Structure 1
Amino acid sequence: GWVFTGFPWLQFGYTQIDSPFFGIAPIFGITGLTFFTVWASAVIFNFIFALSKKQWNLVSVNALLLLVVGGLSAYAGKVNFVQPKEEKGLTVTLAQGNIEQNLKWDPEYLYATVDIYQKQIFEHLGTSDLIILPESALPTLENAITPFFEALDRVAKEKNTEVMIGTVYRDEQSGKLLNSIVTAGNPDFPYELTTKNRYSKHHLVPFGEYVPLESLLRPLNSVFNLPMSAFQSGDAVQPSFMAKQHAFAPAICYEIIFGEQLRENLKKETDYLLTISNDAWFGDSIGPWQHLQMARMRALELGKPLIRATNTGISVFIDAKGNIEAQAPQFEETTLTHKMVPTEGKTPYAALGNLPIYVLSLIFVLLRGFTTLLKRRLNLSQK
């Protein structure tokens, strides 16, 4: 999960998001749910083994253990750790441009891409509170097209609609190239390159967005020179990203698989989780569906509704229990509009992170050590 920047793709616990054990996630998070998945599998094996050997005392012990975990999960699944704030709902539109990966960074396709998203934006200005475009929606430096953003900022303000856009941005002070999100039409943060209302991706994809040991590897082969593979990281913890006076905790693409990072960026005022992505890299494989499953888990763990805007799909609205409320079809140029209601309060995992599962693991180890020592002493006394 963290060695060499980490790659916790599809931990075993994700298999349980649609199972009766989903209720463990808001308490122990995906690490805890993975722990219980592996542990329950071992208990089931021991139960079957004891049954085959007619060791009835072990059969009853393992059956009891399964009932305890099942009961805990069933109870947790019915508990509402967070409450909806009905009066603060937002009507949100997701713009899905469906730009093929082989065209996405083609300079000759820039104007066609701008035209697609401009049309989708103008269809919903004045009717939606917020319009969200996917990761790096416009395939050029934001710095190079600031007149477009300034014009959009003016029009969006007139229509009382805000627009979030995933951009490629170069910080002119530090020189950093950043994968970021910025807003247009926000009266509190008028659009400018130096706006404080910007989120910049922290957890970058190795080789996809940056090259480890760059000075050694880049000269070796063109495989290490993918388009836009020279990004730098934003801060690990950043201020809430604001739109329509609502606070968002963002994660760009790959970052959504890191539950602890998103939890650390959760603030008391956070209304929604937000992720924007370009899953066109995956083609028609199972990858986008796996990515979506992990995004659903973040909503379930943290008890916050999640909004996911993507280039080719799967663009969705997810409630605080990890259920999909509305979903756009994959590989279609389309928009999806839905009213999202934020929540208040915290799940145990949002408050404590992985601490409870670490403590529980330590208790299990100590108990095992104690019972082993006790057995040895009993055996010695009997001898």
Structure 2
Amino acid sequence: MAGALSVFAFAPFDYTISVYVSLFALLFILDNKSAKHAAGYAFLWGLGFFVAGLHWIAVSILDFGGLPVPVAALLVVLLCAYLAIYPALCAYLLNRFTSHSALLRYFVAFPTIWLITDWLRGWIMTGFPWLQFGYSQMDTPLVSFAPILGVEGVTAAVCLITASLYYAYRERKLVLPALVITVIVISAVSLKGLQWTTPEAVKSIALVQGNTDQDEKWLPEKRAEILNQYLALSLDNTDADIIIWPESAIPALEFQVKNYLEYVAELMRETNTTLITGIINYQRVDNIDEYYNAVIVLGTPEQDANHSPVNDRYYKNKLLPIGEFVPFEDLLRPIAPLFNLPMSSFQRGGEEQLNLAASNVHIATAICYEIAFNQTLVNTVKADTGFILTVSNDAWFGTSIGPDQHLEIARMRAFEFQRPVLRSTNTGITAVYDAQGKEAGRIAQFKKAVLRVDVIPYQGTTPFNRFGNTPLLILALLLFTSVLGHYFFSKNTVDKNQLKSSV
């Protein structure tokens, strides 16, 4: 129950205080437990947290995976059980090496170890960095740490504040906790408004939300209707500088609609507009079929000699397990329809790809799930990148809280890189955030519409953009090493004293 409470700190609920209550309860539960028992309790806490926060994954398993409810529930619980290993590891290390010092335990070890294990969760086996605590703080002063330390730094601040509060409760000492929390809050407030990037000329953007039914999207008889619908919505907005369609908006392989794409590109050139759309690219290389989840530019992207190289297409790098690739596919695909979802055999694009170019603006791109990997964007957002574009299709998850969480994650990228984030989706939520993370407009879910927004591109680099999460991780590892050193030094001292007493 304590773990499940955390979910209310995230979208669409946004009760920020619940994450502090949940973490406080976890520290209370772990207090005076052996390392083994602490790991067990933290595992249960993590299971509650992730089941409450990720139960919406079952929607796609039930609606598109062809599995019965009990099996879908079991798969979600198994995923959440795996994710719960990381808070369990944190609790084990915390209680194994810091039971001798409350100061070290709460002001150094807990935020440090949580940061390391949370990072591991976002890295091992391609990673799943969903529901990091920093995402719950975007309407609090703590978000001011994001341009310097990323969402991980905001998460560490949450952990340190909670640990300070628990130390005050446990030890009945208020001065040090009050000082630590005051320093954190004053630092965050003083950073608010600090601008690392500079504005450029305003651009008019039109984001098209087609609201195509996922059950009908790939039916051949529906292709012409869907293509005409997107084109009709766009022709009414050719006075925009850039028109954006969502992930795989075109329900066909790229070569199958070559004439259509050429026709649209010519229309864009005639109106001096650039169109960006998601599409599925197919190639045959060395007798092997290769499919890529792609974004392409239609029109006439121009490259300024003074800017970094650009491209007219982007291939998704961070693929969604099961949904876009199947690990151990020879073993798993025969088991159930879940492992044979449409478009579940993609190849990866390169880790560092060139920016797209549209209307003389350079655009860093992330497709759907990729937007959760801020370190990947560190490699693609350059000093002359004007926007961050993320295209998605959350129709897989119906009316659940999943799309709200996804939008919340995209918003954090605006704070980290101090650039506008344009989010174009098939069924919603389509939205735009400016370089300060403020919402500039949105289209509600399951509505066919066009979002027109004037957006100011920004150029430059934030500290996080330049260094990523590397400095914070190095600091965390150094602090954890100091925790281990203190533990073994104290243990040796105790052993020596015991030996002297025996003698």
The CA distance in 2 between the partners of 1:196 and 1:66, in whole Å, is 46
- Percent identity (aligned): 37
Please name the residue that 1:24 is paired with.
145
| Alignment partner of 1:89 is 2:89 | no
Query: Which residue does 2:394 correspond to in 1?
Result: 279
The answer to whether the aligner puts 1:352 opposite 2:467 as a matched pair is yes
Is 1:159 paired with 2:280? no
Q: Is the 8 A contact 2:301 2:360 kept in 1?
A: no
- Which of 125, 128, 137 aligns to 2:249? It is 137
CA contact (8 A) 2:443 2:449 kept: yes
For residue 177 of structure 1, give the secondary structure of its aligned residue in structure 2.
strand
Q: Which position in structure 1 is the counterpart of 2:226?
A: 113
- Separation in structure 1 between the aligned mates of residue 457 and residue 360 of structure 2, nearest angstrom: 12
Q: RMSD of the TM alignment (CA)?
A: 2.3
Q: Separation in 2 of the partners of 1:318 and 1:245?
A: 20
Q: CA offsets per residue over residues 203-258 of structure 1, 9 Å max, x none? A: 11111011111112112222211111111111111011111121100000000000
Higher helix share: 2
2:313 alignment partner, one of 178, 192, 198? 198
For 1:115 and 1:18, how far apart are their aligned partners in 2? 40
Give runs of aligned pairs for residues 260-279 of structure 1, distance below 5 A. 260-279=375-394
Deviates more, 1:271-280 or 1:359-368: 359-368
Task: Please point out which of 422, 439, 456 is paired with 1:324.
Answer: 439
- Report the secondary structure of 2:348's partner residue: coil
Mapped partners of 1:79, 1:207: distance in 2 = 41
292-301 or 313-322, which deviates more: 313-322
Give the CA deviation at 1:374: 7.6
Given the alignment of the two structures, is residue 207 of structure 1 paired with residue 322 of structure 2, yes or no? yes
Given that residues 301 and 358 in structure 2 are in contact (C-alpha distance below 8 angstroms), is that contact kept between their aligned partners in structure 1?
Answer: no
Q: Does 1:338 align with 2:462?
A: no
Aligned to 1:55: none
- Residue type matched to 1:129 in 2? D
| Alignment partner of 1:101 out of 214, 238, 249 | 214
How many correspondences in the alignment? 369
CA distance in 2: counterparts of 1:282 and 1:41, whole angstroms = 33
1:74: which partner in 2? 189
Structure 1: tracts of 5 or more residues without a match:
52-57, 190-194
- Aligned-partner SS, 2:236: helix
Q: Equivalents in 2 of 1:376, 1:99: separation in Å?
A: 67
Contact 2:382–2:461 (Cα < 8 Å) also in 1: no
- Out of 9, 14, 21, the residue aligned to residue 135 of structure 2 is 14
* Cα distance in 2 between the residues matched to 1:188 and 1:147: 22
Alignment TM-score, normalising by the size of structure 2? 0.70
- Read off the aligned partner of 1:210 and give its amino acid letter: F
Q: Matches of 1:269 and 1:83 in 2, distance apart? A: 10
Task: Please state how far the C-alpha of 1:83 moved relative to its aligned partner.
Answer: 2.1
More contact order relative to length (CA 8 Å, sep ≥ 6): 1
Maintained 8 Å contact 1:157/1:187: no
Q: Distance in 1 between matches of 2:482 and 2:341?
A: 51
CA contact (8 A) 1:272 1:306 kept: yes
* Equivalence for 2:165: 44
Q: Distance in 2 between matches of 1:347 and 1:50?
A: 39
Aligned residue type for 1:341: I
Deviations 1:324-383 (A, max 9, x none): 111112211000011111112221111111122123324433554676648986996xx9
Native 8 Å contact 2:301 2:357 kept in 1:
no
Work out the CA distance in 1 between the residues paired with 2:483 and 2:340.
51
The CA distance in 1 between the partners of 2:292 and 2:483, in whole Å, is 49
Match of 1:192 in 2: none
Tell whether the 8 Å contact from 1:312 to 1:331 is kept in structure 2 after alignment.
yes
Q: 2:478 and 2:127 mapped to 1: Cα distance? A: 27
